[in-house]
Amino acid sequence: MPDINRAVVLAARPQGAPVESDFRIEQRPIAKIAQGQILCRNLFVSLDAGFRNWMDEDSGDNVLPAMPLGEPVMGLTLSQVLDSRHPEYREGEYLMARFAWEEYTLTDAGDFISRLPAEPRAPLSHYLGVLGDTGLSAYFGLTDHGRVQPGETVLVSAAAGAVGSIAGQIARIYGARAVGIASGADKCAQLIDVLGYDAAVDRTAADIDAALQRACPDGVDVYFDNVGGPLLEHVLDQINEDARILLCGAVASYSATEPLPGPRNLFQLTTKHASMHGFMTHLQLARYDEARAVLGGWIDEGRINVPEHRLDGIDNVGRAFCDLFRGANFGKSVVAL
């Protein structure tokens, strides 16, 4: 059994967007396993922009406590049980868990943990992406709250990212016209060529309203919002009657140094009898297997393409996290350890 761990610790609280020097690698001894514990090898680390919120001293919410400075950074991992003294876990089984950015985790297994099937149906890293929290966010958001109808226009922000890359493809499976927002001409071209979006909007365009109108000539029926911030206000001006705004995330605000102004045009919701709905996917843990079966079926049928932004080694975990905030990823960001 291993006795030395390498972990990424929070060296400094990020000021604005995270930078590589906010993180450092530390070696730590692994304690002897005790009754009721499991020792896991972390095979993949998932990079999730939302965890930036808990790197501040006061996260301002009650989802997770603020991460302590000098301690391993909390995240999501795809892990394998190496040794088990816990009645519910077997050696060799795969878990998706809320573990730290480290090579090994010794735990009493009280963390947020979802089991993979004994015979995983897809590459293991997919259980952090399309079959994990991000793909399931796209699925639950559009299915439960979006109630997407054929012929509707579904607009997705951060459309090339982990959630967005799957959301656009699900919208098309439901018969909608999918429009994605991303930064830069190259990424926008890839939205159409790789992910099958019908149209793309560059969020850095000089006239974002005109760009949205060109891409959504019939207005917006469902806005799958991963970004929040000023973009939300621009999109609200384009919504149709009975539109559904799905608040999946607000990456624009995670690294903002001042609170971002809210949309000034919420009255649009009134006049268009539209709705806004926020949701937290991990609260649907009991439905993960059901949703994975549907998504897995679509992957098997070749209806969903699964891009990954994949780096290797614990030394690259901090960099991969920073990539999310400079828009450098296309698809789900993972690091293989």
Ligand X SMILES: NC(=O)c1ccc[n+]([C@@H]2O[C@H](COP(=O)([O-])OP(=O)(O)OC[C@H]3O[C@@H](n4cnc5c(N)ncnc54)[C@H](OP(=O)(O)O)[C@@H]3O)[C@@H](O)[C@H]2O)c1
Residues in contact with ligand X by CB under 6 A are 48-50, 133-134, 137, 158, 160-164, 182-183, 187, 203, 226-227, 229, 248-252, 279-281, 324-325, 327, 329, 333
> Torsions phi, psi of 96, nearest 5?
-105, 120
Provide the β-strand partners of residue 29: 4
Q: Measured from the CB of residue 327, what is the shortest distance to ligand X in angstroms?
A: 2
Q: Which residue is nearest to ligand X (CB)?
A: 161
Nearer to ligand X, 81 or 154 (CB): 154
Name the minimum Å distance from CB 55 to ligand X: 13
Q: Residue 106 or 306: which CB sits closer to ligand X?
A: 306
Q: Distance from CA of residue 108 to its chain's centroid?
A: 26
Distance CA 239, CA 284 (A): 28
Of 84 and 333, which has the nearer Cβ to ligand X? 333
Q: Which is nearer to ligand X, 75 or 81 (CB)?
A: 75
Q: Dihedrals φ, ψ of 297, to 5°?
A: -60, -45
Q: What's the chain's Rg over C-alpha atoms? A: 20
Residue located via tokens 């539209």: 274
Other CB atoms within 10 A of residue 37 CB: 17
**Alpha-carbon gap, residue 322 to 333, rounded angstroms:** 11
Q: Measured from the CB atom, is 98 or 187 closer to ligand X? A: 187
Q: What is the DSSP string of 108-149?
A: -S-S-EEEPPSS-SS-GGGGTTTTSHHHHHHHHIIIIII---
d(CA 246, CA 100): 29
**Complex with ligand X: residue 53 or 107, whichever CB lies closer:** 53
